[in-house]
Amino acid sequence: MKRLLALAAGTEVVTGLALIVDTSIVTRLLFGGDLPGPGRALGTLAGLALLALALACWPSRDATGSVRPALRAMLLFSLLVALYLIYWGVANGAVGILLWPAAVFHAVLALLLARVWLRFGSGPRPRVA
């Protein structure tokens, strides 16, 4: 579970940094188009939010810390991102080269996180080991 959360958080760190450094490249790769000035500013803010999410979900080294809130947050985020990217790809003809790989990645990640969530959902609270 700790490795899965680290993978999810690490992915969002990379994406967040890419959005902060150059929002236009990310939007071209995902959506096949560019953003006007206000859209780039919003993309930078989204990058900052992804960094905050990744930090909040990064597995703790403290053996007593529960990972349930981080697991729940990353599961919801991955599920919503997968659904939105799939919606965007189906509803819009213009997609970038990374849209479908990103949609599949987030869908698989959401399934893996859901599997962990269901495994520990009714049992004792999972702890970072």
Main-chain phi, psi angles of 46, to 5 degrees: -65, -40
- Give this prediction's pTM: 0.71
Locate 11 and state its tokens: 């992915």
- Report the distance separating Cα 125 and Cα 68, nearest Å: 7
How many CA atoms are closer than 13 Å to the CA of 9, on its beta-carbon side?
20
Cβ-Cβ contacts under 8 Å for 8 (sequence gap 6 or more):
57, 74, 78, 109, 113
Q: Is 26 exposed, middle or buried (0-12, 13-18, 19+ CB in 10 A)?
A: buried
Q: Which of 26, 122, 113 is nearest to 77 (CA)?
A: 113
Locate 77 and state its tokens: 């985020």
How many CA atoms are closer than 13 Å to the CA of 98, on its beta-carbon side?
11
| pLDDT in 10s for each residue of the chain, 129 residues | 788 888 999 999 999 999 999 999 999 999 888 888 788 888 998 999 999 888 888 877 655 567 778 888 889 889 999 998 898 889 887 688 999 999 999 999 999 999 998 887 645 555 554
